[in-house]
Amino acid sequence: MKRRVRTAEGSVEIDEVVLRWSLIREPHYTPAEGHKGMVFSVKADGPRAFRELVLEFPYPGKKPTGFVKALEVPPIEPSEVEAGIREALAAGWDPVSRGRVFIYEVEGKEG
């Protein structure tokens, strides 16, 4: 049975800049990194879109123990994505500056 891939995207306007976001990775587990949460790509809309933000959320809820066939897939809350974008802006991400991808780990409760 083929696993269905979920897509999610949206936009938010902050300080007169339209920022578009999209889901690039679901929560998952790897032996090297452990449990990882959802990851979103955020870019400014238009010709001034220079610097991408990679927004990494913590693993949601309690981390499972033992063998788990499939991890729980949490709902995507646009308000949480917007709050994460605002945190990244406060931490120094400037969507209309030039430079490398800005990776930001959202603060949150880990299970």
**Considering the domain boundaries, does residue 3 fall inside one?**
no
Please say if the pLDDT value at position 16 is more than 60.
yes
Q: Is residue 68 part of a domain?
A: yes
User: Is residue 35 in some structural domain?
Assistant: yes
Structural domain harbouring 93: 9-105
| CB 57 within 8 Å of CB 24 | no
Strand order across the 9-14 sheet: 9-14, 17-25, 39-44, 53-56, 102-105
Domain membership flag for residue 31: yes
**Domains contained in the chain, number:** 1
How much is the average pLDDT of 10-22? 93
Q: How confident is the model at residue 60 (pLDDT cuts 50, 70, 90)?
A: confident
Q: Give the mean model confidence (pLDDT) for residues 80-95.
A: 96
Domain presence at residue 37: yes
pLDDT reading at 34 higher than 90: no
Looking at the domain assignment, is residue 49 inside a domain? Answer: yes
Q: What mean pLDDT comes out for the span 2-10?
A: 74
